[in-house]
Structure 1
Amino acid sequence: MKAESFGITFAYTALLLITTLGVAFVFKSAVSQSTMRNKLFPIIFLILVWIVDSILSLKGVFLDTIKSTPPVFFPTVLATILLAVYFALKYEPLTHFKEENMKYAVALQTFRLPLELIFVWALHLGMIPQQMTFEGLNYDVLVGLTAPFIAYFGYHKRVLPKWALVAWNVGGLILLANIVTVAILSAPTNFQVFTNEPHNTIVLEFPYIFIPFFLVPLALFGHLFALRKLLAKY
C-alpha cells in the first residue's frame, strides 16, 4: 500500500472508530435502562448486516455487480437506511433517552467535518471525483461545522428557538440527500450521470463501505431522532 493511501485509510479508520465509540457513549444508558425484551436484537442484526457486507466487499461482489440493475450494493445499503429510520423513530429503548443528553447526540454530527476533509484528501489522491467534495457539489461540511454550535447554543444553553433547531435538522437532511444523490450518480452504474474520472467506486471497497453502511445512516438517524424529539413537544 502506498504511503499516501495508507495515511488516508488510517485517518478514515480512526474517524470511524472514534465515531463508533461516541455513539456507544451517547446511547448506551438509554438502551441499558430499557426493559424491552430482545432490545439488542436490532443491534445484533445490524452488526450481522455489516459483517455480510464486509465479506461481499472483500470478495469484490459489489464492484463486480455495479452494472447490474439494481446493483447488489443498493438493496444492502437500503437495509441499513431502513434500520437507521427504525432506530430513530421506532426503537423503544430510545424513549428513555434523556433530554439533557440531546446535546451529545447532536454533537455527534460533527463527524461530518473531518469526513469531508478526508473526501478532499481523497480527491487530491485521485480516489474520488471532485463533485463529491466541497470543492464540487457536496455541501455537507456545513452540518459538521455548525453541529457543535447547535449542540451548545440550541441544546445546552437553550437560547435558540425550536423552529431554528427543526430548520437545522431539515437542512441537514437536504444536504445529506444531496451528497447521496451525487455519489450514486457518480458511480459507474447503468444510470451514471457524472462520468468524470475517477468514478465513485471507493465506497464499494473495504473499509470505505462503512461510509454508506454506517456514517450516512448515522447522519440520517441523528437528524430524524432530533426531529422526533423536537416535534413530540409541539
Structure 2
Amino acid sequence: MGWFYLAANRSKGFLLVMIVWIALQTWLGLQGVYQDTSAWPPKLMLLGMLPALLMIALLFLSRQGRLFIDRLRQPTLTYFHSIRILVEIGLALLYHHSLVPVFMTIEGTNFDLFSGLTAPLVGFRAFRGKSVQTRLLLIWNIICLLLLLNVVVTAALAIPSPMQKIALEQPNVAVLYFPFNLLPTVIVPLVLLAHLSAIRQLTRKPQEAP
C-alpha cells in the first residue's frame, strides 16, 4: 500500500480510506466471516471484492475520482507492480502447503509473474528519456491487466462455495483466512486500479477535462 500511497502523492484521503478498509478486512478475516463456504453469494465476494470494485467504479464515475486518478504518478504506478513477484512466490508456497490449487501458480495457468518481473524493466525503459514511451506502457498495461484477470477468475472459481467450478480436490482456501484474505480484497484491487488508471492516463487527450 505504501507504494501506491506515494503514487497518490501522499494523499491523506487515500491513506485514511485504505487504513479503514484494511482494518475492516482484517477484522472480517480474524472473525472467520469468510470461512462460511455455504453462503450465496460467497461472503468474500459480497463483503470484500464487490465493495472494492464499487469503490474503483466510483473513482471513474465521479469528477473528483477522475481528478484523483489523473494525478497519480505514472512511474510509481508502474514500479508498484513489482509487488506481484512477492505475490507469486507466496502463491507457490501456499500451493505446496495445499492451500491454493496449482492453477493459481506459475506451475499451472498463472503467468502473472511476468508482470512483476517486467515492471521495473518497463518503468526504466519508458521513463528514462525526455519523453514517455506511451505505446510501450499502454501495451504492457493491457497485457498485464489480462494476466491479472486470468488469475482472478481462476481464483474466484476455485474458492470453496456454491459457485466453485474448478480445483475441487485442492480448492483456494487460503483467501478465507487472515492475512491471505487481504490478497483479493486489498492487493488485487490496488493492482487493478493501477492498471485502469494508467490506461486512462495513457489514452486520455491532454485537453480533455477530468
TM-score by length of 2: 0.85
Deviation at residue 201 of structure 1 after TM alignment = 1.4
Uncovered stretches (5+) of structure 1, i.e. residues with no partner: 1-19, 33-39
Could you list the per-position Cα deviations for residues 119-169 of structure 1 after superposition, in whole angstroms to 9, with x for gaps in the alignment?
A: 112212222111110100111111111111111111233687533321211
Cα distance, 1:163–1:68 mapped onto 2, change above 3 Å: same
Q: Structure 2 CA distance, aligned partners of 1:47 and 1:58?
A: 16
Q: Distance in 1 between matches of 2:46 and 2:130?
A: 40
2:44 to 73, 78, 92: 73
Q: 1:232 aligns with which of 193, 201, 204?
A: 204
- Which residue does the alignment assign to 1:84? 56
Instruction: Indicate the RMSD between aligned Cα atoms, in angstroms.
Output: 2.3
**Counterpart mapping for 1:29-48 below 5 A:** 29=10, 31=11, 40=13, 44-48=16-20
User: Equivalent residue for 1:180?
Assistant: 152
SS, match of residue 218 in structure 1: helix
Structure number with greater CO (CA < 8 Å, separation at least 6) is: 2
Partner Cα separation in structure 2 for residue 70 and residue 163 of structure 1? 40
Higher helix share: 1
Change (3 A) 1:191 1:219: same
Report if aligned partners of 1:88, 1:222 keep a CA contact under 8 Å in 2.
no
Instruction: Name the CA distance, whole Å, in 1 between partners of 2:139 and 2:89.
Output: 25
Q: Which runs of 5+ in 2 are unaligned?
A: none
Q: Any idea what SS the aligned residue of 1:198 has? A: coil
Cα deviations by residue, 1:208-233 (Å, 9 ceiling, x for unpaired) = 11101111011101111111110113
Would you say the 8 A contact 1:68–1:190 is kept in 2? yes
> What is the CA distance between 1:196 and its match in structure 2?
3.9
CA gap 1:43/1:68 in 2 versus in 1, 3 angstroms: same
Alpha-carbon distance in structure 1 between the residues aligned to 2:143 and 2:96: 28
TM-score using structure 1 length: 0.77
Q: Does 1:27 align with 2:8?
A: yes
Secondary structure at 2:9's aligned position in 1? Answer: helix
Task: Give per-residue Cα distances to partners, 1:157-206, cap 9 Å, x unaligned.
Answer: 36875333212111111111110110011111112111343311111111
Secondary structure at the counterpart of residue 28 of structure 1: coil
Question: What code does the residue aligned with 1:24 have?
Answer: Y
Q: How many residue pairs end up in the alignment? A: 202
**Identity over aligned residues, as a percent?**
27
Q: Which residue of 1 aligns with 2:125?
A: 153
Aligned partner letter, 1:23: F
Post-superposition Cα deviations, 1:28-51, rounded to whole Å, max 9, x if no partner, equal 34x37xxxxxxx2x6534433332
